[in-house]
Each structure stands twice: as C-alpha cells, then as structure tokens.
Structure 1
C-alpha cells in the first residue's frame, strides 16, 4: 500500500525537478543506488520493471526504506497493464510510470489516490491522459517526440500541462537547462545519471554528486537563486556551556535537541534550526546560508571577490566559511544538504 498520496508525490517531483530511474537485480546494489540519489537531493526514485527480479527487489526496497528513511518515495516504472500496476501497488509503490498511456491504469491509480505518469508522445495523448486525472505526463521517448521544441510547442496553447521528459535528457547543465526552459516541469534521468560503469565501479559518491548537480541545474534553469535562505543560526556559549544553552532552548520552547560530534542542534516543526557549537569562537553568532548548488554558489561569491575557507565536502553535506565576517563581525558559511 502506498504511503504517500498523489498530491504529495506530485509536489515533490515539481519541487526537486528530477526523477532518477534505474533497474538492478541485486537488492544491496539497488539500496545503495537509491541512497546515493537521495543523498544528492532526489526524493522520488523510479525503479523500473525491466528484469525478472524487479518485483522481489522492489519489495525489499520498500521494506528497507520504510525503516531506514521513511521520507524516500519509491515508485515503479515500465508498467504497461493494470494487473502489473496493482501488483506493485500492493507491494508499496507510491507512483506508477508507464512508457505508454493505459486508461485502465489511470482508473486503478485514481481509485487508490496514487500518482500515475503515463507515457505520451503527442498532444492528443497528453490531453486524453489529463482527462483521466494525470497530474504529470511522461514524454517518452523525449528526443524522438520532438525534444525541447515539442515541450514548448504543446505548452504554448496548453500552459497547464505538466510534462516530464525521459529519454534524450543528459545529466548536463546545458541539456537540463534546455528542457526546463522549454517548459518541462521536471526531467527523468536514467543511465545518463546512473551509468553502468558507475554501478560496476560502485561509485555511489559520484552518483550522489551528479544528482546534486542536476537538482541545482534545475533550480538555476527555473531562474531561482542558488542561495535559498537561512538554514540555521549558530550561537556560541560565552557565559555558559553549549549543552546548558541548548537545553534551555529545548525546554523553554518545547523543541527537540540532537547532539552531534561538534555541536548541539535544536529544532521544531517549522523551518530553521539553532546550532550550539562545542568550540567557542570570538564572534557572537554564525549564520548558515543554504544553497542549492555549492559549486555554483562559491563561484558567485568568487565573482564578488569573496573566497571560501575551511571547505568541507562530503557526499551528504558541503560547507565553507566566507573569508570575511559580516559588518557586525558575525561569521557566515554556506551549507548544501540534500533537499528533503
């Protein structure tokens, strides 16, 4: 049974702008590939029904991430008939993707409030799918259907379309930018993102890095700033201890506190966190500015004559302090985290 409703999955895809897709017949490898994409900022992952082990592997993926990371949205692709769709829905698929449009699958998914992305290659197919409730239509094969030019052509008279091209989308800034600027709501990325060589080499960090780049390129193509807002404020304990100071905020405002290796974090249901570093600095506070693409953000600052120091790059987090304080003497650092 699906854990995510249709609108939740729709909004997630529209937000992140990418849908990684792959098939692998080994459970452990499939888990690593999903995890790599999630660390890079993807939240919905399509596991394609393209091999004999598709069903048992997908079932194990659902079980694993239900415990390891319940925020991961798993769906199934390459579905062409309603009975197969029903089988995977019963196993926990949160969305169904097809290479073609099947009205029976539409009715089945509508009944279960599950997102169905039918494969379409003409305006007539898109309109027919939308009449049966399709929130997002997969344009497949994207390049053969007409490429970005097809997207812009059908969006002109029908700007309400939400289209996700797959096939012909490269994991490059130029390709992703062209599709998004043409009007694509999101893009599907298969072997261009999760290459056979990367899987063979177990280069999961490389897949994470490329996923993060793709998410950033989507946001840039949409005209959004790479600087997305304040991620947290860091308060230094000059008159008490980090533990005591963080405990005060936790108890006073009914927030949740979590201890890490170098600091305590306090947060609630809303956006933003407070960090209490264990190491004391002369500055009263530091500010963390969240970015959608760390490398692009660093380049923008460099163009303004501002460099980064103490840069720390990890698959699941990237940070670096500006080499100058703000006018009040406060420290500022960039922070990239997977989009969750």
Structure 2
C-alpha cells in the first residue's frame, strides 16, 4: 500500500470538501488541522479547486491534501502540480488510473461492483474507493463484494457520518472513510471555521472513543493488595478477581501486588483503534514508550505514554 494512503488509514477520516472560493482554503485547512484531521480531499467540482489545493499545500506542508472528482489525466496533472498528494475519482476510468500509475501518483478510483474491483486489481491497485457508499448498499455490500478479493482494501465515501462511521471502520478491509459532515458548505460560506473545528474534533473523538478502562493502584505487597480488594468488596460489592501480578476489583480497579509503573499507579484508557489513537495522540504532542508495546497474536493490545500524569502512568488499551 502506498505510504500516503497508509497515513490516511491512520488518520481514519478524510474530509471531502468542495470550495467555491479559494480564499476559504487556508482557514478551512487550519480548522481541519486544529480539529485533528490533517488531510482533505478537495473535489474538482468547482473552479476554485486547483487554487485551493495550491494554497493548502503551500501554507500547510504537513497536511495530506488530495484531489477528488478527478475525471481526466489532465486534471490529475493539474492537481499534482498544485501540490496534491493523492488522486481520487468517482468511478474507475482505466485511462486515468494508468496515467496516474505511470506518473507515480497515488490514486484511489471509485468502485461499486465486483467488475470494477477486478479491473482495479488488473491495473495493480490494492485500495479503491467505494462510492456512493450508502446508496450502493453500504457496509453490507462492501462485506459481500470484498469476500473474494482478499487483498483489496476500500475507502467508502458517500453517506458516511458520525452515526455509522465506527461500523465502517470496524471492518478490517476498510482503510479509512471519506465524509463531509464536518465541512458543510453552509459553514464554509458563513466563515464559521470554529464550528468546523468543533465538528472535526467531535468526529475524531467519536472514532477513537477514548474512555477510562480502569485505574491501577500500586500497593507495597500482596497482603496489602488483598486487604484493599477486600475493602472494595465490603464497601462497593466489587468482586475481586485474583491474577498473577494484580487483583481486579470489578473492572474499575487493578490493585497491584507490588509497585508497578507510575508513582501511585496507572490509568488504562481504552480506544476503538490502537494504531489510530497512537497516531492522533502523537500529533497532539505526546510520545509513547515503544518498548511497552504489547502485541498478542498479531493484535496491538496496549502501549504506555512517556512520563507520568499526576503521579500516574497512562497506557492505551483495546476495548
């Protein structure tokens, strides 16, 4: 898979935008970055598309700006010359795809049926768009259609929103989702970029769904750990579950039989998607201890952030 598309997969959501005026490109790009989505698919449906891509790419070089609704090789060249890092088309036009491949442009063409997917495979692609997603059968259609094509991945776009985002991203053959609910045209027209930032941040929060899973309490020894577990049983009726190195009191507390990470203990934060959570938290300026990464049977299960927070170590964990 192309590295640009791999990063889009870590971001998880690709805002699909159509700008009527290139003056909105800079504040919109900033709103998306501030909200946690440093990427955009700028559609070539408007005259302002090319200039908008140029502005975004110049002002925010860290942003992954792509061009959507690319229908011809000439449009693909204009988009890439303007600074686009990937190309998206609504359908699968072999001429456009071959042109992009020959030029080294990452391209995600639209598909909606098995025949399209087979053409994409013949052209050497391993990621395609599924469009229009909801109108073409949604997640059920992707699951049914993708079964014979074990190596193909999908980027569904069209009808994706906050309410169905997780159901799509939970399917392993989906790289990321394209959506426009956080960049509504009326908000752009009104210059309400603060609301776009809020909706973007809300979209990221919905996707990651970061929640406290349990609190780990450091005890001096096993005896003290059992005493605290017994106390929690008496006070809260939290049933203790004994383990090798700790005792779980219900699911809320992990009572350590000897001091572990953190001055006072640790806090486990659950998330829907470990890789995406690590990516987004790193973009927020936090670092992780790679040596603490836990992978079991190929599944990324946990990892600690560097440092302490109020005397507690913090680690991410799968839900």
Q: Which TM-score applies when normalising by structure 2? A: 0.64
Specify the alignment match of 2:118 in structure 1: 127
Change (3 A) 1:330 1:214: closer
Q: Report the Cα distance in structure 1 between the residues aligned to 2:95 and 2:265, rounded to whole angstroms.
A: 52
CA contact (8 A) 2:265 2:311 kept: yes
SS in 2 for 1:101: coil
Deviations 1:33-62 (A, max 9, x none): 122112222232111111122222322332
Change (3 A) 1:88 1:195: same
Residue 7 of structure 1 and its aligned partner are, at CA, apart by 2.0
Of 48, 52, 59, the match for 1:64: 59
1:115 matches 2:106: yes
CA contact (8 A) 1:12 1:44 kept: no
CA contact (8 A) 1:151 1:182 kept: no
Q: Report the Cα distance in structure 2 between the residues aligned to 1:175 and 1:155, rounded to whole angstroms.
A: 19
Change (3 A) 1:317 1:181: closer
CA contact (8 A) 2:51 2:82 kept: no
Deviations 1:101-124 (A, max 9, x none): 111222222223221010111011
Deviations 1:148-199 (A, max 9, x none): 11111123332322111111111x1x31022223443211012x22112322
Residue 288 of structure 1 and its aligned partner are, at CA, apart by 11
Of 130, 139, 157, the match for 2:148: 157
**Aligned-pair Cα RMSD in Å:** 3.5
CA contact (8 A) 2:88 2:109 kept: yes
Change (3 A) 1:198 1:142: same
Change (3 A) 1:291 1:20: farther
Q: Report the Cα distance in structure 2 between the residues aligned to 1:286 and 1:30, rounded to whole angstroms.
A: 47
Q: How many equivalent residue pairs?
A: 235
- Structure 2 matches for 1:206-245, cutoff 5 A? 206-219=195-208
Q: Report the Cα distance in structure 1 between the residues aligned to 2:129 and 2:309, rounded to whole angstroms.
A: 50
CA contact (8 A) 1:226 1:292 kept: yes
Structure 2: give runs of 5+ residues left out of the alignment. Answer: 214-261, 272-282, 287-307
Specify the alignment match of 2:184 in structure 1: 195
Specify the alignment match of 2:176 in structure 1: 186
- Structure 2 matches for 1:1-340, cutoff 5 A? 7-65=2-60, 70-170=61-161, 172=162, 174-183=163-172, 184-190=174-180, 192-219=181-208, 330-332=310-312
CA contact (8 A) 1:76 1:97 kept: yes
Residue 330 of structure 1 and its aligned partner are, at CA, apart by 4.7
Q: Report the Cα distance in structure 1 between the residues aligned to 2:93 and 2:211, rounded to whole angstroms.
A: 39
Structure 1: give runs of 5+ residues left out of the alignment. Answer: 1-5, 229-283, 294-315, 320-327, 336-340
Q: Report the Cα distance in structure 2 between the residues aligned to 1:291 and 1:108, rounded to whole angstroms.
A: 45
CA contact (8 A) 1:120 1:126 kept: yes
Q: Report the Cα distance in structure 1 between the residues aligned to 2:96 and 2:49, rounded to whole angstroms.
A: 19
Q: Whose radius of gyration is greater, 1 or 2? A: 2
Residue 286 of structure 1 and its aligned partner are, at CA, apart by 10
Deviations 1:240-262 (A, max 9, x none): xxxxxxxxxxxxxxxxxxxxxxx
Specify the alignment match of 1:281 in structure 2: none
Deviations 1:181-230 (A, max 9, x none): 3443211012x22112322443323222322332343345xxxx6589xx
Which shows bigger deviation, 31-40 or 73-82? 31-40
Specify the alignment match of 2:231 in structure 1: none
Specify the alignment match of 1:307 in structure 2: none
SS in 1 for 2:50: helix
